Structure 1
Amino acid sequence: MMHAVRVGLLLLSSIFCGVHSWTQENAYRQKTVAATNNPIQLDSLSIAPNSIIVRCGERIILPYEYVIDYSKGTFQLYNPCSEELKISYRVLPFLFSRNYQLRDTSIIYNENKGDREKYLITPTLEPIDLMGVNGLRKSGSISRGITFGNRQDLSVNSSLNLELSGYIAPNLQVLASVTDDNLPIQAEGNTNKLQEFDQVFIQLFNDQFKLTAGDFWISKPDGYFLTYKKRGQGLTGEYYWKKDKTGSIKTQVSGALSKGKFNRQIIQGVEGNQGPYRLRGNENEPYIIILSGTERVFIDGRLMSRGQEFDYVIDYNTSELTFTAKNLITKDIRIVVEFQYSDQNYARSLFQFSTTAQSKNLDWWINAYSEQDAKNQPLQQNLTNDQKFLLSKIGDSLQLARYSVIDSVGYSENLVMYQMVDTLGYDSVLVASVNQSFAYYKAQFSYVGPGKGDYVFEKFNAIGRVYKWVAPVGGISVGDYAPVSLLITPKRQQLFTAGATYRLNDRLKLTSELGMSGYDLNTFSTVDRFDDRGFSMRTKIEHSNPFGRKDSIQAWSWKKQAEIEMLDPYFKPIEQYRAVEFDRDWNTRNQNYTGNQVLSTLGTSIENKNYGRIGINAQQYKIGSSFSGLRTQFLTNWKQRGFNVNIDASYLSAKNDNTNQFLRHRADISKQIKKVRIGYKDDQEWNRFIQGDSLLSLQSYSFFDYQGYLAFGDTTSGELLVSYRERIDGRSDSTRLRNAAKARTLRAEWTKNNWKNQRLYIVANYRELKILDTTLIMQAPENTTNGRIDHDIKFWKGAVNLTTFYEVGAGLEQKKEFIYIKVNDGQGVYTWNDYNGDGIKDLNEFEIAAYADQASYIRVFTPSNDYIKTYSNEYNQSLTLRPERVWGSKTGVRKVVSRFSTQTRFRLQRKTNIFDGARAYNPFVGSIDDQSLISTANIIKNTVYFNRTNNIGGGDYSYESSKTKTLLATGFDGKTKESHEFNARLTLLKKFSIQSQFETGLKTSSVDYTSGRNYRLHYWQLKPSLIYQPNTSLRFSLDGRVIKKRNDENLGGEQADIYDIGFTGKFNQTEKGSLQGQFNLIRIAFRGDSNTPLGFELLEALKPGVNYVWSLGYQRSISKSLQISIQYNGRKSEGNKVIHAGGMEVKAFF
């Protein structure tokens, strides 16, 4: 027996050693595959999760651009790239999607089943609880609660959060995320991967189908003309059928409410401005919300990556785009942003259908997409019958859809209200008022342009913008706002495509596709229907001819292609399907050419799988009779013997109203010499528009942008890149192109990845712009600097952790506007104190609520179009020192030192409007009173601990300094705080413990838009506590607090002395519940005016004299999955009635 055991152990060890050896030596894979939208079987084994890296040329494909099934080893790209895919990954030693069995399970059943059934004991079956299904993983809760009090209205709150995954049948899985939270924000766009807060869905799936109800994404199907990436809320289903190896069919059908509307915005970079750049809607809406993860950002035709460590960050809620120091933004940068944004004018539905079939020689597809506004379900605009009649008559002339938006709604203290008066011989003039007897008009003002309105923006108060009427001068309007609104028309957009690819043989392939679009700008109207329908066609023939020796490793091929694409004048794609700079390549951007479009292409290339390709294309592009162009393009992507050559050169000759000649040349040529790469790069354009015989149009321009660079190392372990760059811009003086500006740029970039426990990234740019001829270019000379240092390091066995981030640059700072919105009592953050008793909600009358019953308002920032040029720097650093990791087991001095640990954190952000070395680069310099300081957010905190993890006793000392300054539309708001805090704790006789806290510091507030908020407050406080805890169920504490607060005499000299004594008791039973009560007696000696913002701060929302504050909370676990909570709070001040507030909540856990 023992011998058998030894043999078994030896065999088991051999297996595990073999697997380990196989994993180390043979798990790594690297493949090159053609770029396609079709699923690719990468391997016959399962892929190790998160091990895959995909490259399209030199660009890394990000995870959201493809889908991978790790267990099956399959990969599918959403959008094809222009080059072959290079995929590296690691595999596991098994294919986990395959069923493994030793014997056939059917043989375990006895054929004589009838004789055995009468002896079989069958347990009583009980109804299956959904939450108890075997194989389901679940988490979350559902709760319902109410809050009430004698100073607040009754309010009800509820929440549902459920996450579910697992098998509900042998061949059926479920994945669900359900919540009823209506979050007003989205994930922050400062990371590469987003946390989707608002995805609510239930999904059923197996190997052949997937059905999703709720929130989902749909993206580009097979084909050419139909391109989209949409978020919907509804139902989508996919079915995949495969017949052996001969063919397959994949079908997807979706019906949903569309969560977004597509827009494509072209932005010209501003010299030295990294952002933010404001994105607008398709109807030029200035304030929109971008749907998270839907954006694609291009710089000069190159796709950028989102994230603070990559190319850009985006604020989805304010639709602002900011670029990092990796890309220096200048006047020469071309930015294109494609995105989806929330459109709440109408309920918007979408329908999508796609079917793709693949066989040995033939692939075909049929796609349909329809998206339309429900004209009878407006959301943000309530259309009257008169307004609908107006929209029905204007057809596609949307500029005529202006309508007065003055509405008599009755007085409301939470809205800006107007009364109608007659003045200076003019009637029906709106005047802002709080007179409840007359101010019952609500108006919506729109910017109509200088001299086109009779109102101007007057001020900004706590509930919104206020506008003022200005009298016309000589009968001519002098305002720029009017109480009108541009009515948004309901729209419908559709596209149907059908196409096929037929492989005549291994070398010859024919692809053709037809498309039909529908685009109705105004579904209320039957006018202008002639341009709603459009058609398209594309046919492409490709031929590949391999040549060379069959046994040669240099697999050469000669490829030829011919292509024709035809669009009628009214064809409208869902999203841009052509290359991002197609219209710029042909000089058709913003030209509004109309007519049938015909694009013909002939191309040929020589390709080698080891070296690359060399090709040439000849193209002709016609748009009706208004444009005709011929373009020749030469493309090279070649690597051989250390040389890497990339060239994209083209020449365009076009005729429209003018004659156009456009020469473009982009090249990147480098040579690798061991670990050094020497390179040259250029970007050149020569674009001439000739009017008549010889007159040069002012549209004509030229530039020559060239650079040389040196790179040391490689991109895997680390690389140092140094470059020098020059650019010369030419402009037309109507006779010739003359040099107008010259720029020089120095750049250094260092990435280090192969250091142990350390990561480093440094980039620095310096650009000098000179204007050579001020008559040709409207641009001031400017010097620009930006850069970044990003460093993480761990050493001394992890006892020391240091992270550093430092960035400098230039950009814009928005003047922030905010309003306060009334919500249910107890569910807000702010409280309103009518300090001056005029009944008007002023900005300086809102404070952060100290008690729940006061919290009746929330503050919402509203974007503005007012920006200031700033120079910014940001410095973040954290240092953690924990000697106990190394010396915890030592003796003597090292043991004593190991009892100490420290944590230091710096987070400093500054923006100033003056450029000089100290202000622009030094994050520590200056005070908030500096007039050149536009905004700052600084926090410095250091804590030193002693015996941090010791249960007997310990202590700590903390120093904290914070400074904030915010630029508002009404002025500046600045606050500072500096404090020293000491904490000590000591356990006595196991049941008693003493805790003590002492803090001293200074708080200041400085604002220039209102009075009563400027102070300089010195304070100190002592908080001793005696705690008695006889066991784990009971805990009692006697707490004291003494606070002294003094304002500077020259700012008012207010002061408050607070004496607080309290008792807290808590009873807890494990898995049953807890009961907690607290009572505090607070006596306040106060000097000053209590009905001011400073008085509210000094009194901590209480009243001078004796105050009583108490609370009682009870929580009971009725079962393992059901919990009830009851909370009661009360307080009493001298001369005031008792305030009661409470609430109850029931929560069930899944």
Structure 2
Amino acid sequence: NYVIRKMLFTKKKQKWDWNMIVSYEFMSKNFQLVEAIRELEFSRMFNLSEDYSEQFDDHLFRFSTEFNQSKIANLKYHLTYFSRLPVVNALRNEIVVSTQFKSFTFNTITSYLYSKNNNMFTSYINTDNLISKEVKYLVVGVKENLEYDLFKDRLSNRLEINSFAFNDIKFFIKNQDSTAYKYQLSYKNRVDHRVNNRNMLSLHSMVHEAQGIFEMTKLKNHKIRAIATYRNSALVDSANLLRPEHYGVGSIDYTGRFLKNFIILSTFYEVGNGMEQKRNYAFIKVFDGQGTHVWKDYNNNGIAELDEFEIALFRDEANYIKVWLASNDYVNTLNNQFSQTLQIRPASLWYKKTGFLKFLTQFSNVTSLRITQKNLRSNSIQAINPFYFNSSDSNIINQQWQFKNTFSYNHYSSIVGADFILQNNLNKSLLYYGFEQNRINMQEFIFKLKPHKILYFYSHYSHSLKKNDSEYFESRNYQVDAHLIENSLQLTLYNNFDIILSYLYQYKRNLLQKEKATRNQVELSALLKLPEIGNLSAKIEYASISYNENDNSSLAYEMLEGLKIGNNFIWSLNFQILVNKFLELNLQYDGRSFERKRLIHTGNLQLRAHF
């Protein structure tokens, strides 16, 4: 880098700062990146549709100059030349201006790119502008964002399909910065052009949008924000006619604090309309251990079917990923969303009290609820009511309900504490083959005790009911009732060595049929902390499983959680090494053994760089 900084004066003795920077960067084709080192939008800025970095050297030349006078303007000019010789050559010019004169403000970022490679040349104009004026207590202005990007074949001079252009103009009026109220009204128009069948840019879509925003921050402990948006969106169809669609959405967001944060309440509600896509999905095989799902050939036909994929519980089995596929089937919907969080913290109000009030400060409660629904237009009256929650109503095509309540005793204490947790989750979605729905109800009790600085006791009990309903895959219909008890004891020696012994008992029963599963598990783990070296951890589990049906089914995989009938042994060894302040090396070994099954060993090596 080469940098020049100067101070200039005009006839009116106004001081201007002048900066100039010249830099050159070279990256060899043999250089291997650990992570991205350039701007997130670098490829888009230079129209790089392919990655040639592994085949050719990179050359990046930058020239920048800036004139700055804090009371008048800031002017910048950037010239950038990028090449991957002999394949890519790109020259980009950019002007940045920011100025304010009396009540007027003008900002612009405008760039022009010309590039070419072996197959095509491109021309890319991008400008982002703002003009505004203060009128008493208001600000009136216009924002514009325009992009014009052409990709042309070098031989035929024909436009490539990825060429595009759009112009986005927004007119707004708002109040000046205020700590009490903020409001804004705006109108936006956006026009998009795409390549048509005559190899020309033609009108593709047009959007008109009106929006109003109001925010009240006057009250110290109460904040309200409301937004209303109307959008008219039109796409050009095969007959070159605009097909308009009308959308609207409104939301209100409130946060309130009462009695010195004794009660904290947050509420959000939104209602609107849109289009819901019928979803489809597939599973794609990836490298061993790099996926999220495992394929179980339940019917032994050698064909991977959609109802034979499960979430992988062991890393070596994770050989597939779930990919959502685009669908051309849409339905018009009315949507609503509601979320609320309520926190009750007596300690915030009575922390200085004595007696019974002091005792109450040891308790706290957090309740959260989130509801999302998408309804057919024929159900418009109930569509705006988030509490109309009938999962069997076919007019509700997408529905999510998430409720959680945590009642705590001594939540922040390191000596003794307890939590009682209630959860109720429901998810209903419309797939290409019909509806699919799953629901989980769970009650949990957690107790923590530290009677001595080297001893820690943890106890956990949960009761859950998991329901799954599928219109197409009958094998995935079940209702599993489960009880779980887990106790563990941790011993800490010399402040850097932990030994944990735990026992788990679990009983599951399918209420729709007669399947039953029992699990007894013992686990022993140890962690050794080596200052300035790293951590060494080891774990071994033994689980005894009984199940009264065949374990080669989707239901069995759910009830046995990936384990097998009989004796199961699982062990692991992990060594985390701090090479230096920036590098961390992880060596991991996993193994497992099932009754009448071969041993499975998995090794993993990972190097992390921290910047």
Q: 1:1101 aligns with which of 562, 582, 590?
A: 562
Q: CA deviation at 1:1111?
A: 1.2
Mapping of residues 729-748 of structure 1, within 5 Å: none
* Contact 1:494–1:574 (Cα < 8 Å) also in 2: no
Q: CA deviation at 1:860?
A: 1.7
Residue 802 (structure 1) aligned with residue 546 (structure 2): no
Q: CA deviation at 1:849?
A: 0.4
Letter in 1 for 2:114: S
Letter in 2 for 1:525: S
For the residue of structure 1 that corresponds to 2:357, the secondary structure is helix
Q: CA deviation at 1:795?
A: 3.0
Q: Give the equivalent residue in structure 1 for 2:318.
A: 855
Q: CA deviation at 1:1001?
A: 1.3
Q: 2:64 aligns with which of 239, 242, 258?
A: 239
Mapping of residues 301-700 of structure 1, within 5 Å: 350-353=90-93, 369-372=113-116, 374-375=118-119, 490=120, 492-493=122-123, 521-525=152-156
* Contact 1:215–1:231 (Cα < 8 Å) also in 2: no
For 1:870 and 1:800, locate their aligned partners in 2 and report how far apart those are by CA, in whole Å: 36
Letter in 2 for 1:818: Y
Q: Give the equivalent residue in structure 2 for 1:1065.
A: 526
Q: Give the equivalent residue in structure 2 for 1:255.
A: 81
Q: Which has the larger radius of gyration?
A: 1
Q: CA deviation digits over 1:521-547, x for unaligned, max 9?
A: 543338x9xx99xxxxxxxxxxxxxxx
* Contact 2:399–2:428 (Cα < 8 Å) also in 1: yes
Letter in 1 for 2:92: Q
For 1:951 and 1:810, locate their aligned partners in 2 and report how far apart those are by CA, in whole Å: 49
For 2:248 and 2:606, locate their aligned partners in 1 and report how far apart those are by CA, in whole Å: 56
For 1:1025 and 1:802, locate their aligned partners in 2 and report how far apart those are by CA, in whole Å: 36
Q: 1:977 aligns with which of 419, 436, 440?
A: 440
Q: Give the equivalent residue in structure 2 for 1:986.
A: 449
* Contact 1:871–1:915 (Cα < 8 Å) also in 2: no
Q: CA deviation at 1:863?
A: 2.0
- Return closer, same or farther for 1:1125/1:867 CA change in 2, 3 Å cut-off: same
For 1:519 and 1:809, locate their aligned partners in 2 and report how far apart those are by CA, in whole Å: 36
- Return closer, same or farther for 1:216/1:806 CA change in 2, 3 Å cut-off: same
For the residue of structure 1 that corresponds to 2:359, the secondary structure is helix
Q: CA deviation digits over 1:263-292, x for unaligned, max 9?
A: xxxxxxxxxxxxxxxxxxxxxxxxxxxxxx
Q: Give the equivalent residue in structure 1 for 2:585.
A: 1124
Q: 1:1017 aligns with which of 459, 480, 485?
A: 480
- Return closer, same or farther for 1:830/1:216 CA change in 2, 3 Å cut-off: closer
Unaligned runs of 5+ in 1: 1-40, 46-71, 75-96, 99-170, 183-198, 203-212, 220-227, 259-346, 358-365, 376-489, 496-516, 533-572, 582-636, 638-645, 647-667, 669-710, 723-746, 768-777
Mapping of residues 107-122 of structure 1, within 5 Å: none
Q: CA deviation at 1:896?
A: 0.8
- Return closer, same or farther for 1:1134/1:231 CA change in 2, 3 Å cut-off: closer
For the residue of structure 2 that corresponds to 1:1029, the secondary structure is strand
Q: Give the equivalent residue in structure 1 for 2:285.
A: 822
Letter in 1 for 2:589: Y
Q: CA deviation at 1:1059?
A: 0.9
- Return closer, same or farther for 1:1123/1:491 CA change in 2, 3 Å cut-off: closer
- Return closer, same or farther for 1:786/1:575 CA change in 2, 3 Å cut-off: closer
For 1:893 and 1:249, locate their aligned partners in 2 and report how far apart those are by CA, in whole Å: 67
Residue 215 (structure 1) aligned with residue 52 (structure 2): no
Letter in 2 for 1:1044: Y
Q: CA deviation at 1:351?
A: 2.5
Q: CA deviation at 1:824?
A: 1.5
* Contact 1:953–1:985 (Cα < 8 Å) also in 2: yes
- Return closer, same or farther for 1:797/1:491 CA change in 2, 3 Å cut-off: same
For the residue of structure 1 that corresponds to 2:42, the secondary structure is strand
Letter in 1 for 2:423: E
- Return closer, same or farther for 1:842/1:518 CA change in 2, 3 Å cut-off: closer
Moved more, 817-826 or 1097-1106: 817-826
Q: CA deviation at 1:1041?
A: 0.7
| CA RMSD of superposed structures (Å) | 4.8
Q: Give the equivalent residue in structure 2 for 1:813.
A: 276
Q: 1:1080 aligns with which of 538, 541, 556?
A: 541
* Contact 1:492–1:523 (Cα < 8 Å) also in 2: no
- Return closer, same or farther for 1:173/1:896 CA change in 2, 3 Å cut-off: farther
Give the paired residue count: 511
- Return closer, same or farther for 1:751/1:1101 CA change in 2, 3 Å cut-off: same
For 2:149 and 2:343, locate their aligned partners in 1 and report how far apart those are by CA, in whole Å: 62
Unaligned runs of 5+ in 2: 1-9, 26-30, 52-57, 98-109, 126-147, 186-210, 232-241
Q: CA deviation at 1:886?
A: 2.6
For the residue of structure 1 that corresponds to 2:476, the secondary structure is coil
For 2:463 and 2:486, locate their aligned partners in 1 and report how far apart those are by CA, in whole Å: 12
* Contact 1:919–1:926 (Cα < 8 Å) also in 2: no
Q: 1:759 aligns with which of 220, 223, 236?
A: 223
* Contact 1:918–1:925 (Cα < 8 Å) also in 2: no
- Return closer, same or farther for 1:982/1:218 CA change in 2, 3 Å cut-off: same
Q: CA deviation at 1:1006?
A: 1.0
Letter in 1 for 2:312: A
Q: Give the equivalent residue in structure 2 for 1:1140.
A: 601
* Contact 1:1033–1:1068 (Cα < 8 Å) also in 2: yes
Q: Give the equivalent residue in structure 2 for 1:622.
A: none
Q: CA deviation at 1:897?
A: 0.8
Q: 2:37 aligns with which of 184, 193, 200?
A: 200
Q: CA deviation at 1:830?
A: 0.8
For 2:384 and 2:469, locate their aligned partners in 1 and report how far apart those are by CA, in whole Å: 25
Q: Give the equivalent residue in structure 2 for 1:846.
A: 309
Q: CA deviation at 1:964?
A: 1.0
Q: CA deviation at 1:374?
A: 3.5
- Return closer, same or farther for 1:1007/1:717 CA change in 2, 3 Å cut-off: same
Which structure is higher in strand share?
Answer: 2
For 2:335 and 2:283, locate their aligned partners in 1 and report how far apart those are by CA, in whole Å: 30
* Contact 1:1106–1:1134 (Cα < 8 Å) also in 2: yes
Mapping of residues 142-291 of structure 1, within 5 Å: 180=33, 200-201=37-38, 215=42, 235=60, 237-240=62-65, 252-256=78-82
For 1:238 and 1:574, locate their aligned partners in 2 and report how far apart those are by CA, in whole Å: 29
Residue 832 (structure 1) aligned with residue 295 (structure 2): yes
* Contact 1:250–1:355 (Cα < 8 Å) also in 2: yes
Q: CA deviation digits over 1:124-149, x for unaligned, max 9?
A: xxxxxxxxxxxxxxxxxxxxxxxxxx
* Contact 1:1078–1:1111 (Cα < 8 Å) also in 2: yes
Letter in 2 for 1:756: K
For 1:982 and 1:73, locate their aligned partners in 2 and report how far apart those are by CA, in whole Å: 68
For 1:871 and 1:356, locate their aligned partners in 2 and report how far apart those are by CA, in whole Å: 43
Q: CA deviation at 1:715?
A: 7.3
For the residue of structure 2 that corresponds to 1:1128, the secondary structure is strand
Q: Give the equivalent residue in structure 2 for 1:584.
A: none
Q: CA deviation digits over 1:67-95, x for unaligned, max 9?
A: xxxxx999xxxxxxxxxxxxxxxxxxxxx
* Contact 1:713–1:720 (Cα < 8 Å) also in 2: no
For 1:714 and 1:522, locate their aligned partners in 2 and report how far apart those are by CA, in whole Å: 50
- Return closer, same or farther for 1:818/1:779 CA change in 2, 3 Å cut-off: closer
Q: TM-score, normalised by structure 1?
A: 0.40
For the residue of structure 2 that corresponds to 1:931, the secondary structure is coil
* Residue identity (%): 27
Q: 2:459 aligns with which of 970, 975, 996?
A: 996
For 1:750 and 1:355, locate their aligned partners in 2 and report how far apart those are by CA, in whole Å: 34
For the residue of structure 2 that corresponds to 1:1136, the secondary structure is coil
Letter in 1 for 2:155: F
